[in-house]
Amino acid sequence: TLRTIPGVQFLNYGSNGLNANKSGIRINGSNDVIILVDGVRLNDFKGAGSSGYAFTSLLNNMDNVERVEVLRGSAAVMYGSGAKGGVINIITRKPTSNTASMDIARGSFGKEAYKFNAMGVKGKIRYQVYDDKSIEGSTKDASGKVWPGHSNTKSSGAKLQYDFNKDQNLSVSYDKTSSDFTGVDLIYKGHYVGAFDSERLTLKHDWNLSKLWNNTLVYRNSKEKYLWSKPGGEDPDMAQPVTGDTEYSLFSDTFRYKSATYTMVGGLEYVKGKDNNNGKDAKNTSMFLQGDWEFLPHLTLSGGVRHDSPKNFDSHNSFSYKLAWDITKKDSIYAGRSDYYILPSLSQLYDVKFGNKDLKASEGRTTSIGYNHEFGPENYLTFGWFETKVGVGLNIANDGTYHNVIGGIIRGWNAQYNVRLSRYVNAKLGWSHLYYDDSGSFSQGYAPKDKATFGIYYDKDKFGAAFDGFYFIRDTSRAEKGVKGWPSDKYAVCNLSVNYRANTSTEFYLKVDNIFNKLWAEHTDVIWNGGADTWYAMPGRALTLGMKLRV
């Protein structure tokens, strides 16, 4: 899972339905993360951690996903506004034959999951359709406390691709997610109800103009609506429902040139976001160019520039450069620096209660160095150090309003060791360390000072098994003395999964999350004067039993 990648952190409210589908995602200590699907960005003018719904629904049905790539560090030149912490790119499968699968599961806390996926090829046409439904009820944390709630999430979509020939294709895809949830907030008292709906249309044209040149045209339009309300009146701050109705559009034209010693990527991009509740909008036009040049054998120099011209903001140039050296066939090092540039979201600018229309864009740069060593074909070590310096940042005041801050620093390193122990067993072990000098949520313990990640995987004949998890160490040096802000400052969360392939078409699986029933939380209200034990505890041990059929 992504939780076992060093430097990657998720922040979930534990109670089911209480923002349960909206994961806060952090990479290298920052929740300014870009989410891509097949290289097309999802989150424009949405703010940090705002793509959790789409991200979660996309990963619900892994039969539709080939792999997930994680890029740590600033990447504004290639990916535009928002890439301070890093980039997550979800690569979907390319249909090569006619297949279909159905997955049915039941589990703890009233969990029900139904997934259907089909893909195929007929002549020059490739197609893919999927439909998922997930239901969850009240959860129980490891202390035995019940968090009343219920959620019902549905995701569906289709993709159709026409191959003109081996060098040119046109695809259209449509994805829709709908989530309804209800429950009782045990911290900020009161019954809550909520809903989230989104739909996304993407058109993409790929054309290999020659052996060296490629061009990609993309148009994407997405719409999102949400509702959050406490109709009982117990919470005076939620006397009125919070609603959202936004629409986002993207158009990009990207070219690629690749020869034996040089690669160049460049293009033009236009993005627009509109808040239909108040008629406010945000726009940005950008141009970028990045090249990788192997100017000497095994020595590659990379450099790039991006120019942004956003509406109501000054234009901005972002730069990046990197030097990589393959010292031997098994050893490589790199060093580089990359800018980041983040435009405020529509809600940060124009929210009636918390918005600030005078916000400036956030900007800064990340310096990184790294070393990779390959002990063998499936036995390797990766290490990376980074330092992010904030020029202009964005923070939240005590009253919840947004404001700019000047300066700040995040520094840390990530290491991971992957090894194949035998023909049937492989393992990975990682460690990440983080330092930060701000006085916000980091210093309150939301991010780990150190975090170990681990996994061991077995696959032989009809059986497969995985045991993985993480060990979290919180920074308590700046915590208020005598205040227990979290259930634990050092804890391990472990998960186990076992699957049995009865035949080529039938598979049974068992998953046990939080196998040792650890009490832990990723959000708390204790440190915000909420009183003792007012943390949003994550669910305790949970079992899921399922069956997958393939034809």
pTM beyond 0.85: the answer is yes
- pLDDT tens digit string along 452-504? 999 999 999 999 999 999 999 998 877 777 778 899 999 999 999 999 999 99
Residue 204 burial by Cβ neighbours in a 10 Å radius (0-12, 13-18, 19+): buried
Strand-strand pairing, 86-92 and 33-37: parallel
- C-alpha closest to that of 384 among 450, 432, 449, 418: 432
- pLDDT tens digit string along 35-82? 888 877 776 676 555 555 556 666 666 677 788 878 777 665 677 666
H helical segments located in 80-205 = none
**Chain centre distance of CA 64:** 17
Q: Give me the pLDDT at residue 230, please.
A: 85
Q: What is the mean pLDDT of residues 402-414?
A: 89
Contact 539, 512 (CB under 8 A): no
Q: What is the 3-state secondary structure (H, E, C) of 2-67?
A: HHHCCCEEEECCCCCCCCCCCCEEEECCECCEEEEECCEECCCCCCCCCCHHHHHHHCCCHHHEEE
Query: DSSP letter at 438?
Result: -
- pLDDT tens digit string along 337-362? 999 888 888 888 888 778 889 999 98
Identify the top-confidence range among 14-28, 73-87, 102-116.
102-116
Phi, psi of 4 (to 5 degrees): -95, 15
Q: What is the mean pLDDT of residues 526-543?
A: 88
Structure tokens at 329: 């066939």
Question: What is the overall mean pLDDT for the chain?
Answer: 87
Answer positive or negative: Cα dihedral of 436, 442, 443, 447. Answer: negative
pLDDT at 397 over 90: no
pLDDT at 409 over 80: yes
Q: What is the mean pLDDT of residues 267-282?
A: 92
What are the E-state strand segments in 421-462? 425-436, 448-460
Query: DSSP letter at 209?
Result: -
Q: How far apart are CA 414 and CA 312, in angstroms?
A: 38
Of 37-41, 307-311, 427-431, which gets the smallest average pLDDT? Answer: 37-41
Q: Give me the pLDDT at residue 299, please.
A: 96
User: Is residue 20 very low, low, confident or very high in pLDDT (cuts 50, 70, 90)?
Assistant: very low
Q: Give me the pLDDT at residue 443, please.
A: 64
Contact 378, 426 (CB under 8 A): yes
Q: Give me the pLDDT at residue 55, please.
A: 60
Higher pLDDT pick, 238 / 195: 195
Structure tokens at 118: 């089909």
- C-alpha closest to that of 25 among 39, 38, 36: 36
Q: How far apart are CA 326 and CA 524, in angstroms?
A: 46
H helical segments located in 425-536 = none
User: Is residue 113 very low, low, confident or very high in pLDDT (cuts 50, 70, 90)?
Assistant: very high
pLDDT at 92 over 90: no
Q: Could you count the other beta carbons within 10 Å of the beta carbon of residue 360?
A: 16
- Helix, strand, or coil here: 109? coil
Q: What is the mean pLDDT of residues 226-250?
A: 82
Structure tokens at 304: 């790039």
Q: How far apart are CA 39 and CA 305, in angstroms?
A: 19
Phi, psi of 313 (to 5 degrees): -135, 155
Phi, psi of 483 (to 5 degrees): -110, 120
End-to-end CA distance of the chain: 26
CA angle 498, 503, 509 (to 5 degrees): 20
Of 20-29, 154-163, 192-201, 516-525, which gets the smallest average pLDDT? Answer: 20-29
Q: Give me the pLDDT at residue 512, please.
A: 97
Q: Which own/partner pairs from 150-153 qualify as long-range (CB within 8 Å, at least 24 positions apart)?
A: 150/16, 150/17, 150/110, 150/181, 150/182, 150/183, 151/16, 151/17, 151/20, 151/21, 151/179, 151/180, 151/181, 151/182, 152/179, 152/180, 152/181, 153/21, 153/57, 153/60, 153/177, 153/178, 153/179, 153/180
Residue 172 burial by Cβ neighbours in a 10 Å radius (0-12, 13-18, 19+): middle
